[in-house]
Amino acid sequence: MRHGTVTEPARILVVGGGYVGMYTALRLQRQLRAELRAGAAEIVVVTPEPYMTYQPFLPEAAAGSISPRHVVVPLRRVLDRCRIVIGEVRSVDHAKRTATLATLATAEEGTGAVDLTYDELVLAPGSVSRTLPVPGLLDHGIGFKTVEEAIGLRNHVIEQMDIASSTRDPAIRDAALTFVFVGGGYAGVEALAELEDMARYTARYYHNLKPEDLRWVLVEASDRILPEVGAEMGRYAIRELRGRNIDVRLETRLESCEDRVAVLSDGTRLPTRTVVWTAGVKPAPVLAATDLPLNERGRLRCTSRLAVEGVDHAWAAGDAAAVPDVTAEEPGRECAPNAQHAVRQAKVLAENITASLRGQPLKEYEHAYAGSVASLGLHKGVAHVYGRKLKGYPAWLMHRAYHLSRVPTFNRKARVLAEWTLSGLFKREIVSLGSLEHPRAEFELAAAPPPDHGDKPSS
């Protein structure tokens, strides 16, 4: 069908294997089963990693309550009727229905990039951390969007405790035990709360560290945290965190973090080796390398039918797409970048692509925000869902039940449930496997020539 030929299958190119990419491709492979079998259609998913990350579980992965492999969903297994290409789309020329991608093979072959033509385009590259030009941030900041970052941060926190425990220098000890998190949305608050909880527990295994020695600081530019759960539950979350000695600073910004000192807008100087940046997201950079319309924040302009505005055969959803919120009272509001919208949009998106291929009418995306749940550490949480407010243990239970019901595939649900059950029966995992990040280090040391001490051979 591409370029007027009748023999080639209609190729649907899905850019991104996250929430939208995976769920859209999953639904399409079910709906287009007959076309796929007959060779009339083909679904190609281009994604940098061979897995979808269930991001709401990252804080629990950082705390060690869920192992990293169970936070991700293997795309090749789930999307068994799609073609998975591990790579990154660098640009899209939609007028020519062509995407340019870099894969591991193009890097190896030295060819740089290859072109891939398509008939229908689904752009779902999500978002990246929205950073500000804060001096030192690029060199010292740690993000919290990927499973690698979550596990890296866990290892880093435990490593800081090891440093603090073994140094005799009080300045090094204080800096190692100070943890600064910037951004009070669910990613920052959950990550901080889970890690603080884990470190508090871990401290009991150190002869010279007490939980009170660790300093946790949450820096938030606005006057509230967790806007997703509403003002009242946000205030509760602040009280809960402060009750654990966590220093929550509202209407405060990070001014710089050079030379291992975080400087805040209220004048505080915090020597620290840990600055975690969770101050919002911005659309994936690849969108700027397309000939498709973007809004002032860089999201793809979309209709409520999830089609990219003003062009045919291009679709988008999730964090990358500015989809009108048709349920909002104020005109012009777009759906917030969250998983709640991403999953539901993916369903409508797949149905609309199928309908468009079959010449049927398209559906409008409509979903009123249902509220949110957030974990504040083991057995602690806050929730505001469908008007119902919960806090403490019931909210934490609801958080777990909700996310267990949402994590894709029965296989993952069973594994996560088994892990939670086991961790309820046994002691918490307190090990840091930071050396996994440098697997060759030991071998390099063993294989290195012995040091030359300047000894002369005796004659």
Ligand X SMILES: Cc1cc2nc3c(=O)[nH]c(=O)nc-3n(C[C@H](O)[C@H](O)[C@H](O)COP(=O)(O)OP(=O)(O)OC[C@H]3O[C@@H](n4cnc5c(N)ncnc54)[C@H](O)[C@@H]3O)c2cc1C
Residues that bind ligand X (CB under 6 A): 15-21, 46-49, 55-56, 58, 88-89, 124-126, 144-145, 186-187, 284, 286, 318-320, 337-340, 342
What is the 8-class DSSP label of residue 455? P
Based on CB atoms, which residue is closest to ligand X, 187 or 203? Answer: 187
CB of 446 to ligand X, least distance (A): 36
Please answer whether residues 295 and 304 qualify as being in contact, where contact means their C-beta atoms are separated by less than 8 angstroms: no
Distances from the Cα of 1 to the Cα of 44, 95, 350, angstroms: 15, 16, 19
Q: Which residues of 234-256 are buried (b: 16+ CB within 10 A; e: fewer)?
A: bebbbebbeeeebebbeebbbbe
Torsion of CA 383, 55, 427, 184, to 10 degrees: -50
Based on CB atoms, which residue is closest to ligand X, 23 or 216? Answer: 23
Please answer whether residues 25 and 43 qualify as being in contact, where contact means their C-beta atoms are separated by less than 8 angstroms: yes
Based on CB atoms, which residue is closest to ligand X, 88 or 240? Answer: 88
Assigned token pair, 449: 């020539």
Based on CB atoms, which residue is closest to ligand X, 90 or 224? Answer: 90
Between CA 159 and CA 434 the distance in angstroms is 8
Residue with the CB atom nearest ligand X in the bound state: 18
> 194: closest CA among 381, 404, 385?
381
CB of 427 to ligand X, least distance (A): 26
Based on CB atoms, which residue is closest to ligand X, 125 or 136? Answer: 125
CB of 258 to ligand X, least distance (A): 26
Between CA 218 and CA 237 the distance in angstroms is 12
Based on CB atoms, which residue is closest to ligand X, 38 or 401? Answer: 401
CB of 2 to ligand X, least distance (A): 20
Query: Which residue reads 């949110």 in tokens?
Result: 372
Number of Cβ atoms within 10 Å of the Cβ of 439? 8
Based on CB atoms, which residue is closest to ligand X, 185 or 260? Answer: 185
- Over its C-alpha atoms, the chain yields an Rg (Å, rounded) of 24
What angle separates helix 410-425 from helix 393-406, to the nearest 10 degrees?
150
Cα angle 40-45-48, degrees, rounded to a multiple of 5: 165
Please answer whether residues 301 and 205 qualify as being in contact, where contact means their C-beta atoms are separated by less than 8 angstroms: no
CB of 49 to ligand X, least distance (A): 6
Based on CB atoms, which residue is closest to ligand X, 145 or 173? Answer: 145
CB of 373 to ligand X, least distance (A): 7
CB of 449 to ligand X, least distance (A): 41
